Amino acid sequence: MEASKKPKKFQGIKISQRPLTEKIEPLLYLSPALLLLGIFLFWPFFQTIIRSLHITDNLGRNALFVGLENYIELFKSSSFHNSLIVTILFVFIVVIVGVLLGFFTALLCQRTFPGIRLFSAAYALPIAIATSGIALVFQVMLNQSIGIVNQILGTDINWLADPTYALLSIGILTGWLNSGLNFLYFSAGLSSIDESLYESASIDGANWWNKIRHITIPSLKPITFFVVVTNIINAFQGFAQIRILTGGGPGESTNVIVYDIYRNAFMNYRYGYASAESIVLFVIVVILTIIIFKVNKGGRINV
């Protein structure tokens, strides 16, 4: 028992705390990234909040402090209400098209056949295509007179000038652009599923649909959740294709919130009002993301 006791020379000695340099060292490694985030993200964000409380001149300088008047005017605006509805519809179309295209193309490329690498490259190709460039291509494809879409379908629709089809056309284009990255995510998820699960299901007599429903989809739930969230955020930021193809028209049928911000700021020179609109958009995206995380966590919204 005496041997188990600590020697006297070690008694009363306190274990030294980590030196201050070791605590500061991790922050030094993070400082370049924090500096860039501060300059290009946090500082502009705070400036946007401040500008949203002012009326600005044509150069964007704060001219008169008006408090929450920009926000009050915004929520009373019928144009903003229309933009909100259009944005929700646009996001819905983009997410549905992008996620389904990415999922089914990933399923197709799980089979081994000649030319599989060529098909995989083709399905992932939208990642490498500039939005503005493909928008110009679609402008020709959707042309009422010479467009290949009308020739294939045997229709005579002005896809970009008809309020019924303009938002749908741009939504499908944006969904296809997102599908390339979705294809890579789903392909990675499918490759991680144990093949023995499918073999056991085949022995039990499960068909293709039962395997998809009871094995593939549950196994891909985390990746699907991530893909849906990223697609929703990207859809809220859609701008270039709308600017090139429709300019928010016809009427205001494709005037999503991001384009409305651009129009108010750089066409109407109402920078304070546009800043208020951008803050509202930010809050909407944050709230929607939190709700999705809550729903995914427990199958219900936990407050």
Gyration radius (Cα) of the chain, Å: 27
Q: How do the pLDDT tens digits run along the chain, 303 residues long? A: 444 454 555 455 555 566 777 778 888 888 899 899 999 989 999 999 999 999 988 888 888 999 999 999 999 999 999 999 999 999 999 999 999 999 999 998 887 777 778 888 888 888 888 888 899 999 999 999 889 999 999 999 999 999 999 999 999 999 999 999 999 999 999 988 888 888 888 888 888 888 898 899 999 999 999 999 999 999 999 999 999 999 998 989 999 999 999 999 999 999 999 999 999 999 999 998 898 888 877 544 443
Long-range contacts of range 230-235, CB-CB < 8 Å, 24 or more positions apart? Answer: 230/181, 231/94, 231/95, 231/98, 231/99, 231/178, 231/182, 232/91, 232/95, 232/285, 232/288, 232/289, 232/292, 233/285, 233/289, 234/94, 234/178, 235/90, 235/91, 235/94, 235/95, 235/174, 235/178
pLDDT in tens, 169-191: 999 999 999 999 999 999 999 98
Q: What is the pLDDT of residue 292?
A: 85
Q: What is the DSSP string of 67-93?
A: TTHHHHHHHH-HHHHHHHHHHHHHHHH
* Prediction pTM value: 0.85
SS3 per-residue string spanning 147-204: CHHHHHHCCCCCCCCCCCCHHHHHHHHHHHHHHHHHHHHHHHHHHCCCHHHHHHHHHC
**How far does CA 267 lie from the centroid of its chain?**
26
